[in-house]
Chain A
Amino acid sequence: MKGRTNTWTKVLGAIAAAGVSLAAQASPGNGIRLGGSEARLHPFFDLETRYDSNVTYSGEDAVGDLVLHFRPGLELKAPGDAAAFEFSGALDWAQYLGMNDGKSRPIPVDTKELSRMYAYARLAAAFNRNGMVAPRVDNDFERTVSTASLAAVAVPVVSNLNKLLLAVPWRPGGGALVLVANGEWIVETFEKYKDEPPVPLSDLAYDQYRAGGEVQWRFLPRTSGVLQGSYYRRAPNQANQAQNASGLDFFAGMTGLLTERVAATAKLGYGSSTANGFTTQTTTYEAKSYSAGLADLAVEWLPLDSLSLRVGYKRSIAIDPVLSIMLQQGVNGTVQLKFAENYAFRVGARWDSFVFQLQDGATTKFLTVDPTVEAKFGHWLSGAVGYAYSTRNAEWPSTSGTSQPSYSKNEVFLRLGVTY
């Protein structure tokens, strides 16, 4: 163990030295210009050291470990009126150092086995931006650890989520009125993180389609009234799955600036979802429809140019891959403070609740608090240091014969980034 630690210390030192020397050589340039165009490519590399007190998401006998994240990535910006493109993507190798491997525990753990590749890629393309019809396409891919994707079985999984969005706004007249047709296609698959859930992960993959429309009326330069509606359908890859469901939702309200220093979103709506019946190993669930009022409320206040306060509440209907329809409610707040020109202190807190509608008394609650200090020096060097406390608390009816473990974890991280 001692020898391994020394080896890792050397590796860390070498990486830090390489990073510093790379940073020292990099000129504070503005990326790599592509051909004679205005497009610029920005390669970047982030190194993050994170201590996680509970890498196994366990309720008892939590195992802590130090995790190194190596994130090489690219950003591309190609502005233009006829067509504009932006891309941001990175690979993220998470190396668990196995600090507590071999120590006496009820169940031996080898956290180094949790090391794997994560990634994200976001692409946006906008066309004819100053025209009457200005289509925009977005594609977001993310591979990450998720504890909320399969909230009903309370098992953290590796989620591969791809979301394709298409919006076609039409601005008749001067542009105060905007009519938008939009569509969304989501594909999500799951892989094991540490423990196998009680249902085969390969059966839980799904596609979700959504089609909708929106009317915006911009009655002030940055304030709009909105009316939104959409229909969605969740199609599981396997038959007889819980998530074979569809639904409708509508919102009406306003969003934008109320004064120079106060912004708000106030949208209220109604949603309805219908799930087909399905059978698990122990239970048969009948088809069910569920309707509820929806809300999307937020206020942001900028009392000083260097201080921002934001609080919000959202209530929506969602589909869990294992237990179908759930009502989501979330409250969140953020305080941001700029200091010493290049530093930003942020503390965010959020509480979320999932109430499963096909299983009476089944709820899952999440709480996260994460203060962070971020800084950027010139165009090329950035850093962040932060802490995050997160907890999950599940309540499950005793009659179901299953228990849903809760967990809490503390994380501390230091991140350095170099962008060319």
Chain B
Amino acid sequence: MRSHLLVAITLALTAGGASAQGANAAKGDQEKLDAAADNLSRMKSALKQVLGRAEQARSDKDVVKLNCVNEKLTQIKSLINVAERSDIALHESIAAKDAGEAEFSKIAIARTKVDGLRGDAEQCVGQLAYNVEERTTVEVEQPANLPGRPLGLGVANREYNPADAVADIGFGVGSDTGGSWNRTFSPPVIVRAQAASPFR
């Protein structure tokens, strides 16, 4: 199954590479190598982001989302494999005074496809979509800045990095305890003053 996927991706990239040759003909060798390295770096960055999405879905125990993200993840990994092989082939071609246009184009197309898959993975997570009267689609996206730390009971916090907590805007609002009573975002009142030995 995996090998079939790889073959299909390679064929697709080869076909795409042929059409992209003209556009890249004018690029110098060093420019090609730099651009290929940049594309690979961006693909790996996308992989990292989607891995984060998968981890989030796993911690949410949301199997549907996890399956969706994993599907994109598998394709991204395969594309990166192809791109890495093409990068090696590109280096070899340039060393042999060959233009290496096909390999260069494969990497560029792989990056485009990875960008698309990353966008698809974003749609898997944090999306609540439903249809109204079978015609209108209403999409409600959750804010991008949801708390960075997992939603526990808020008592044992030593494992959290205080630096990450800076971005925890409104943490505790609408918590799953159902009681804003003790978890609401609210300014604390100094019922008792700063302790001589304040705990963290």
Contacts and interface: CB of A to CB of B under 8 A. Distances in A.
Contact of A76 (B156, B164, B165): B156
B5 interface: no
B193 to A, nearest CB: 4
Contacts of B179: 136, 167, 169, 180, 182, 214
A255 B185 contact: yes
B159 A419 contact: yes
Contacts of A191: none
A106 B37 CA distance: 75
Interface residues of A, number: 113
B122 to A, nearest CB: 15
A11 B8 CA distance: 69
Contact of A79 (B152, B167, B174, B195): B152
B190 A88 contact: no
Given A75-B156, A336-B166, A342-B163, A263 B199 contact: no
A312 to B, nearest CB: 3
Contact of B197 (A118, A223, A338): A118
Contacts of B184: 226, 255, 265
Given A86-B152, A384-B200, A376 B195 contact: no
Interface in A114-144: 118, 120, 122-126, 129, 134, 136, 138, 144
Interface string A55-76: 1000000000001010100011
B177 to A, nearest CB: 5
Contact of A256 (B174, B177, B188, B198): B174
Given A214-B179, A255-B185, A265-B185, A374 B193 contact: no
B181 A338 contact: no
Contacts of A125: 153
A159 B192 contact: yes
Contacts of B142: 221-222
Contacts, number: 239
Q: How large is the interface on B (under 10, 10 to 19, 20 to 34, 35 or more residues)?
A: 35 or more
Contacts of A112: none
Interface of A is mostly: strand
Interface of B: 140, 142-146, 152-167, 169-170, 173-174, 176-182, 184-200
Interface of A: 42, 44, 46, 48, 50, 52, 55, 67, 69, 71, 75-77, 79, 84-88, 90, 92, 94, 118, 120, 122-126, 129, 134, 136, 138, 144-149, 156, 159, 161, 165, 167, 169-171, 178, 180, 182, 212, 214, 216, 218, 221-224, 226, 228, 255-257, 259-263, 265, 296-298, 300, 302, 305-308, 310, 312-314, 316, 318, 328, 330, 332, 336-339, 341-344, 346, 350, 352, 366, 368, 370, 374-376, 379, 382, 384, 388, 390, 392, 415, 417, 419
Given A222-B173, A305-B167, A375-B163, 8 more contacts: A79-B152, A92-B199, A126-B153, A224-B173, A310-B187, A336-B166, A366-B193, A382-B158
